[in-house]
Chains A and B, each alone.
Chain A
């Protein structure tokens, strides 16, 4: 019997696990995919919102502002890439001014620090490439950009370092409420793998959080996956803007943001269309919308795409996050409807639920809790002195595997062998950036597969992109003849 079981190893589930792992509790995280950060957490804007957008008094507002503050701290303690680059909400027409002022007021009510309305002359000083049509903007200095993968991975690694267990490739099929001999309530979880019993259950199942919730609760919830498509541009386009540029919604529709990423690329997106919970495909219309509407924010949007992708927002009918113990099911905790600003809110949701659950189980803080985590060293970001030190420790830090992002064999081996290490090519990519560059793994894929095979002790055929049937190698040549 586990004390707590968390369904979903996305950023929310991992944040809850990290928080709970500070207590003397037996924790399990169940993930249907082959790695952490495989759903909504891997395909989003990577923005740390300041918190002016959400309705005052909503859970979104509360967890956003607190989450922003926490990410500032956690990025240092857990060593993941984050930069406070500041956000700008542009009004591209005079009529938008009132809306900018409304956002400013809302931000004040939500407790967002440092907000300011900038007129065009101040705005162009901050962003010389901003659109000629931008009349004014809301400036939120605490807005930031984060590596969503490594934030999620850092939370999960820290949870695991503190004793939380993770099982992957395991899908929850059925949950039954049961009463034990001493009269206490527990949950029996049937999965595609083995079954588990747990005292407390946390639902962080992303676009499937309604399915999980509705398995145990009579107060039904409903999630509509809402697809967002993005285009990522070459690093040579990365310096077009330094802040994250949002647009006010106009009659043309919801705005498309243009932002530098924390790794120095330029990104534009997302669209917003309701979709099937497995539909992460991009469409010609969607990508066209990203380019044409994204272009409205700047003088000229470079056409230098290196990849495009789509993610799904878990939009709940009520419009707000659902966070807390289900009224009719004691011991069942939801973190459902976690759409934007969910990435920012995740650590705050983790803290809130972690504290509630620890209280419920009368758990005590661990004396030997590990509060820091060291990320994978990066040859690309290190200075020459650090590089030499790493190479001296392990010469494979001088063997370049991914030349676009300058990732070495040492980094890839580190990613595979560390806590909750990568087991797939995508897992290596998200942890090290090998294959994230402008050639999109054309060169390094053939070098990454042998390293994965060797480190995991499997054959080339068993190395996959992202688990399941996503194999690359289909036998040896001459096998088919």
Chain B
């Protein structure tokens, strides 16, 4: 077996991996290798041919491939090595030496090991399949996850059906409702189990409302008909416990069912190397440096937690790339006797990234990202340090479909630390008058 070496191996050449690589190089790291399983860099952005990307990062509106191209240009200009068509099949960690071994394979070089001093996990996520949703009925062809449908239509130029029902109002589902309509298909409706949409508001307006496609909140598919190809689906309203309400069933004749019911971080490799996974996000538990419990193994992008905007993926991945480079170049701030604390999500705040902070290693400001569990209006986002209220910010709207963020200021926390140690920073949603 031919073996290779690299200081930093980045698994995944999508938006997260690309931004991480660019940032690591900017920090001065030479020896980087990106592993990408697809035949080209760019990841899922390549099939996202709609616009709306880059408003935060580049202050202009780009399509997915254009957004990816900006980063791919940097990789090429910086001559950062990458291998496409290459699948990482395992990662192992040697506790004694701190070295990681990435096992990978491709058609040109076969099977090989790459010895790495640091690894950035940037594998992205996958879509939740029909089976995981336990939708009863037959198992015909014509049931696609929205992303698979998007791949066919945008990458292969193939149509996958003429009369479409979409279950789940995740962003890809909404985008595909418009895309299928553009290509001449009839999209009958989008059914959403929750009483709110899982997608961005702007996508509901631009992809459904503009085309008169009904969004049925608190509805789900309760039966699939068709032994060979989908012949129709039955949709029913659900009660507050998300159980179908008898008598509300309605049959929709269609040949295609698209599913946009959530994304799952692809952490099989992370598990293999011993990374601890947060059951709420499905991604790793990370510290302020976006480092996992395995020293020198970082995570960023959708493999860490599912994002709503690629701009945030790039931002987060840049942080991971910079920190991995600092770790390798010995530029990392040393941890002293200073405070290490946990961030505790509570009361409507589902999780936080990061979940632990070492005050010594914390930058001047630290962005904490999280999502909420329900739709909130006119509430306060409140933080407590060991039970004492620290900050309170008014929030007009907080929706589960949109990622939230909170900026922690190091100066403020250091002042608190000066008065004595603390262990926990709680983030919670509170009523305005509470």
- A interface vs B, CB < 8 Å? 231-232, 236, 278, 280-284, 286-287, 304-309, 384, 387-388, 391-392, 395-396, 398-400, 403-404, 406, 409, 425, 438-443, 445-446, 460, 464-481
Q: Inside 8 A of B139's CB, which chain A residues have their CB? A: 280, 309
Segment with Cβ contacts to A, from B153-161, B210-218, B300-308, B311-319: B153-161
Query: In the complex the two chains form, is A477's CB within 8 Å of B153's CB?
Result: yes
Supplied contacts A306-B132, A404-B268, A406-B89, 6 more A-B pairs, CB within 8 Å: A391-B110, A400-B89, A441-B129, A466-B141, A472-B141, A480-B184
Known A278-B227, A442-B145, A476-B157: A306·B131 in contact at CB below 8 Å: yes
Contact with A along B268-290 (1 / 0, CB 8 A): 10010000000000000000000
| Interchain residue pairs with CB less than 8 A apart (29) | A232-B131, A280-B138, A281-B224, A282-B136, A282-B137, A284-B222, A287-B134, A307-B130, A307-B131, A308-B131, A384-B111, A388-B111, A398-B107, A438-B132, A440-B132, A442-B126, A443-B126, A464-B141, A466-B228, A467-B228, A469-B229, A470-B228, A474-B160, A474-B162, A475-B158, A476-B159, A480-B162, A480-B184, A481-B184
Query: How far does the alpha carbon of A468 sit from the alpha carbon of B137 in the complex, in Å?
Result: 19
Taking the complex as formed, is B250 at the interface, i.e. its CB lies under 8 A from any CB of chain A?
no
The reply on B396 being an interface residue by CB < 8 A is: no
Query: Which residues in B have their C-beta under 8 angstroms from that of A287?
Result: 134, 136
Is A470 a contact partner of B229 (Cβ separation < 8 A)? yes
> Chain B: how many interface residues by the 8 Å CB criterion?
54
A473, B151: Cα distance in complex, Å: 12
Instruction: Contact check, B148 vs A442: say whether CB atoms are below 8 A apart.
Output: yes
Q: CA–CA, A460 to B106, complex, Å?
A: 25
With A278-B227, A306-B131: A474-B110 Cβ-Cβ less than 8 Å: no
- B110 in complex: contacting residue of A398, A406, A468, CB < 8 Å: A398
Let me know if B151 and A446 touch, CB within 8 A: yes
CA distance A286 to B223 in the complex (A): 13
Residues of A within 8 A of B108 (CB): 395
Q: Does B105 sit at the interface, judged by CB under 8 A?
A: yes
B60 touches A (CB below 8 Å): no
Which B residues are CB-close (under 8 A) to A283? 136
Q: A446-B151, A476-B157 are in contact. Are A395 and B228 (CB under 8 A)?
A: no
B185 within 8 A of A: yes
A391 nearest CB neighbor, chain B only: B110
Q: Which chain A residue has the least Cβ–Cβ distance from B126?
A: A439
Distance in angstroms between the alpha carbons of A399 and B136 in the assembled complex = 34
Task: Please determine whether B130 and A403 come into contact, CB atoms closer than 8 angstroms.
Answer: no
Interface mask (B1-32 → A, CB under 8 Å = 1, otherwise 0): 10000000000000000000000000000000
Given known A231-B134, A476-B157, A477-B157, contact A439–B127 (CB-CB < 8 A): yes
Inside 8 A of A481's CB, which chain B residues have their CB? Answer: 183-184
Q: Does B421 contact A (CB under 8 A)?
A: no
Assess the B147–A442 pair: CB atoms within 8 A: yes
Given contacts A307-B131, A387-B111, A470-B228, contact A399 B159 (CB under 8 A): no
Do A440 and B130 have beta carbons less than 8 Å apart?
yes
Q: Is B152 an interface residue (CB 8 A)?
A: yes
B195 within 8 Å of A (CB atoms): no
Contact of A395 with B138 at beta-carbon distance under 8 Å, contacts A306-B131, A473-B152 already known: no
Complex CA gap A346/B129 in Å reads 34
CB distance from B391 to the nearest CB of A (A): 37
Binding site for A on B (CB under 8 A): 1, 37, 85, 87, 89, 105-111, 126-127, 129-132, 134, 136-142, 144-145, 147-148, 151-153, 155-162, 183-185, 222-224, 227-229, 244, 255, 268, 271
Residues of the B chain whose Cβ atoms lie less than 8 Å from the Cβ of A472: 141-142, 160
With the chains together, A465 CA to B142 CA distance in Å? 9
CA A282 to CA B133, docked complex, whole Å = 13
Closest Cβ of chain A to B162, distance in Å, is: 6
Tell me, rounded to whole Å, the shortest Cβ–Cβ distance linking B266 to chain A. Answer: 8
Once the chains bind, are A446 and B148 in contact (CB under 8 Å)? yes
Query: How far, in whole Å, are A424 and B161 apart by their CA atoms in the complex?
Result: 19
**A308 near B134: Cβ-Cβ < 8 Å:** yes
> Is there an interface contact between A478 and B137, defined as CB atoms closer than 8 Å?
no
Contact (Cβ within 8 A) B1 A384: yes
B222: chain A residues at CB < 8 Å are 284
**Given A395-B107, A396-B107, A442-B148: A478 and B183 interface contact (C-beta under 8 Å):** yes
**A281 touching B157 by the CB < 8 A rule?**
no
User: What residue of chain A has the Cβ atom nearest to residue B184's Cβ?
Assistant: A480
Whole-angstrom distance between the Cβ of A447 and the nearest chain B Cβ: 10
Query: A396 CA to B106 CA in the complex, in Å?
Result: 8
Name the residue of chain A whose CB is nearest to the CB of B148: A442
B184 to chain A, nearest CB (A): 3
Are the CB atoms of A473 and B229 closer together than 8 Å?
A: no
The 3 A-B pairs with the shortest beta carbon distances in the complex, nearest first, are A480-B184, A307-B131, A440-B129
Cβ contacts under 8 Å, A236 to chain B: 271
Minimum distance in angstroms from A323 CB to a CB of chain B:
30
A460 CB to closest chain B CB, in angstroms? 6
The answer to whether B129 and A306 touch across the interface, beta carbons within 8 angstroms, is yes
Contact across chains for B106 and A392 when beta carbons are under 8 A apart: no
Residues of B within 8 A of A474 (CB): 158-162, 255
Q: How far is the CA of A293 from the CA of B227 in the complex (A)?
A: 28
Known: A395-B110, A480-B159. A442 touches B105 (CB 8 A): no
How far, in whole Å, are A232 and B134 apart by their CA atoms in the complex? 10
- Distance between A450 CB and nearest chain B CB, rounded to angstroms: 8
Which of A231, A304, A307 has most chain B Cβ within 10 Å? A307
User: Given A460-B158, A469-B229, A477-B159, A398–B132 Cβ distance below 8 Å?
Assistant: no
**How many angstroms from the CA of A470 to the CA of B108 in the assembled complex?**
35
Q: In the complex, A305→B184 CA distance in Å?
A: 35
- Among candidates A286, A403, A466, A468, residue contacting B87 with C-beta atoms closer than 8 Å: A403
Given A400-B87, A479-B159, A440 and B131 contact (CB-CB distance below 8 Å)? yes
Minimum C-beta distance from B197 to chain A (A): 22
Q: What is the distance, in angstroms, from A149's C-beta to the closest C-beta of chain B? A: 15
Min distance, Cβ A148 to any Cβ of chain B, angstroms: 16
- When C-beta atoms are compared, the residue in chain A nearest to B225 turns out to be A281
Residues of B within 8 A of A403 (CB): 37, 87
